[in-house]
Amino acid sequence: MRLAQSVLKSQERNLGYGEFCVPRCLTRLYFGPAGVPHAAKRRSTIEGVRTVRELGLDAMEIEFVRGVRMSETMAQKVREEAQNLGIVLTVHAPYYINLNSDDPNKVEASKERIYQSAKIGFIAGAWSVVFHPGYYGKRSSEETYRRIRDAVRDVVERLKSEGIDIWLRPETMGGLAEFGSLEEVVKLSQDLDLSILPCIDFAHIHARSRGGYNSYEELRQLMEYIERELGKDALHSMHIHVSGIRYGDRGEIEHLNLEESDLNYKAVIKVLKEFNVAGVVISESPNLEEDAILLKKLYEET
């Protein structure tokens, strides 16, 4: 329970239900890779957590992107290992989610995938679960918003009724065909309840605006917007994705390593520091842990 002792102290609110304690606010920033680090000797979550620790990092996102393939028993083992090593876990829900599908079965299956990700993540002691909400298709952004909001509300209510207490995070998306502008995910948090906050993906926001949100001043405005719309607590509970990115007229094309892209990660780190942000920074660069280490070092030296 070393993690519990270290992260639940002072202002870290423990809203734990039953034996699972999920600290909703963190006191500092934790850095780690999106998934098992490349350096891990085996491709298992437990080995990933151990490698993260060896690399001097302190967070890891469990990638359920191709399906929630972890038993409850394994999730408990992951939780013990992560707590013993002081690693904060987050979860990425499957990519195959479209809460705005024309097919009602696909909407239900999407809700189920988010629910399963949250449930297994919660048992694994994860702090937050991020998901891609869906696509506009032929619908207007307003209608898409209403349909996605209602579907997310169903998931929130189901999780609450089962005592599953974990952050649910719709992600800011990089492609223009995808629901998930900064304003849309902020509005979801405002219209639903406090178990929803955005996952802020700096690369996606940069790509979606085709080059914007990249100067220190623009990034300051982004942070001010979040603070103004969602309150100061939102800055003490941020789930963040960072990577390099290539983009075109339709937004995101592919993720890149930070040094290969124009993303102004130095300004990102500067504003995170300036706004005293706490939470988790996940590197989604192809080199995973290398950029997580780069960001953590930069943050510590700034």
Site string for Zn ion, 126-165 (x = CB under 5 A): ----------------------------------------
Tell me whether residue 171 or residue 289 sits nearer to Zn ion (CB atom).
171
Cα three-residue angle 299-206-293, rounded to 5 degrees: 25
Distances (CA, A) of 142 to 100, 106, 197: 12, 20, 20
Tell me whether residue 3 or residue 258 sits nearer to Zn ion (CB atom).
258
Tell me whether residue 171 or residue 252 sits nearer to Zn ion (CB atom).
171
Q: Count residues contacting Zn ion (CB under 5 A)?
A: 1
Which residues in 86-105 contact Zn ion (CB under 5 A)? Answer: none
Give least dist CB 132 to Zn ion, A: 6
Length of the chain: 302
Give least dist CB 117 to Zn ion, A: 12
Q: Which stretch binds Zn ion (CB under 5 A): 105-113, 135-143, 145-153, 166-174?
A: 166-174
Tell me whether residue 143 or residue 254 sits nearer to Zn ion (CB atom).
254
Which residues in 263-302 contact Zn ion (CB under 5 A)? Answer: none
Which residues in 22-61 contact Zn ion (CB under 5 A)? Answer: none
Give least dist CB 235 to Zn ion, A: 21
Site string for Zn ion, 171-210 (x = CB under 5 A): x---------------------------------------
Q: Which stretch binds Zn ion (CB under 5 A): 134-142, 168-176, 205-213, 292-300?
A: 168-176
Tell me whether residue 90 or residue 237 sits nearer to Zn ion (CB atom).
90
Tell me whether residue 171 or residue 184 sits nearer to Zn ion (CB atom).
171
Three-state secondary structure of the chain: CHHHHHHCCCCCCECCECCECCECCCCCEEEEEECCCCCCCCCCHHHHHHHHHHCCCCEEEEECCCCCCCCHHHHHHHHHHHHHHCCEEEEECCCCCCCCCCCHHHHHHHHHHHHHHHHHHHHCCCCEEEECCCECCCCCHHHHHHHHHHHHHHHHHHHHHCCCCCEEEEECCCECCECCCHHHHHHHHHHCCCCECCEEEHHHHHHHCCCCCCCHHHHHHHHHHHHHHHCHHHHCCEEEEECEEEEECCEEEEEECHHHCCCCHHHHHHHHHHCCCCEEEEECCCCCHHHHHHHHHHHHHC
Q: Which stretch binds Zn ion (CB under 5 A): 3-11, 120-128, 167-175, 272-280?
A: 167-175
Tell me whether residue 171 or residue 290 sits nearer to Zn ion (CB atom).
171
Phi and psi torsions of 199, nearest 5°: -95, 120
Give least dist CB 173 to Zn ion, A: 8
What is the separation, in whole angstroms, between the first and last Cα of the chain?
Answer: 31
Tell me whether residue 20 or residue 136 sits nearer to Zn ion (CB atom).
136
Residue number of the CB closest to Zn ion reads: 171
Give least dist CB 278 to Zn ion, A: 21
Residues forming contacts to Zn ion in the complex (CB under 5 A) are 171
